[in-house]
């Protein structure tokens, strides 16, 4: 509160290069060049035991949570 900063939310699929470009374009339109970045992407596998996750779900979790796409 003391800093009185400003922020906005932009929902983007990190697997979609066009969505990421749109996010940066909108950020630069609002604030100018991006100089700092906080990455906050993540998904979970739902209500499954880790050992019971289908391989495709596991692959998706790793791609999004570890690689960011």
At residue 7, the pLDDT reads 83
3-state secondary structure of 55: helix
Q: Which of 2, 4, 39, 7 is nearest to 20 (CA)?
A: 39
3: pLDDT confidence band, cut at 50, 70 and 90?
A: confident
pTM for the structure as a whole: 0.57
pLDDT of residue 41: 64
Tokens (6 digits) for 45: 């596998």
Q: What's the maximum distance between 2 C-alpha atoms anywhere in the chain?
A: 47
Instruction: For residue 68, give the nearest of 43, 41, 46, 45 by alpha carbon.
Output: 41
pLDDT digits (tens, 9 = 90+) for 12-59: 887 888 998 999 999 999 999 988 877 776 777 778 788 888 899 888
């Amino acid at each position: 509160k003391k800093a009185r900063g400003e922020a906005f939310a932009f929902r983007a699929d990190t697997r979609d290069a066009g969505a990421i470009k749109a996010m940066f374009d909108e950020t630069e339109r609002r604030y100018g060049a991006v100089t700092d970045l906080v990455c906050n992407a993540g998904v979970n596998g739902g209500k499954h035991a880790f050992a019971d996750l289908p391989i495709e779900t596991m692959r998706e979790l790793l791609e999004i949570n570890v690689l960011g796409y």
